[in-house]
Amino acid sequence: MKKTIILTIAALMTVSVASAVAASAEVAETASLTDKKPAKKKGEIKEVTFLVHLHCANCAKKVQENIAFEKGVKGLHVCLEDQIVSVKYDAAKTSEDVLKAAIEKLGYPVKGTLEPGQAGGHHHHHGHQH
């Protein structure tokens, strides 16, 4: 009687160990993304400058307050004079498109992006239509 119990336990053990190994491999991959401090992965922090039609200081303030709380946003600079919204963001958590949509959701059309003289990087020039 005891022998069969031991056998089934052994069988269960091998199955659970196999699936645990598979699971821990997946966990290890995702954990390595979250555990590392952003400082180590400098390439992950990107900056984008949107050309946004801001009407007044209140508009700029509204963008500042809302976009600052968007996921992955590390830094924000809204300039009413230049009509720009500069966002430093964690590329692993958000993207240019998401941020653009977030600004437009507030009711401010994004006219394009400025490339602040980035050497290399992906240049997408939106010709400045006036």
How many Cα atoms are found within 13 Å in the side-chain-facing hemisphere of 10?
6
d(CA 47, CA 76): 9
Threshold 0.85, pTM exceeds:
no
Distances in Å between the Cα of 21 and the Cα atoms of 12, 33, 104 are: 14, 19, 45
For 1-130, strand residue ranges (E) read 45-52, 73-79, 84-90, 110-114
Report the distance separating Cα 120 and Cα 49, nearest Å.
16
Q: What is the C-alpha separation between 109 and 111, in angstroms, rounded?
A: 6
The residues near 18 (Cβ < 8 Å, ≥ 6 apart) are: none
Q: Across the strands, what pairs with 75?
A: 88
pLDDT digits (tens, 9 = 90+) for 77-124: 999 999 999 999 999 999 999 999 999 999 999 999 987 654 444 444
- What is the chain's mean pLDDT, rounded? 76
pLDDT by residue (tens digit) across 28-70?
555 445 554 544 555 589 999 999 999 999 999 999 999 999 9
Task: Output the CATH code of domain 42-114.
Answer: 3.30.70.100
Residue 129, pLDDT > 50, answer: no
Q: How far apart are CA 6 and CA 130, in angstroms?
A: 80
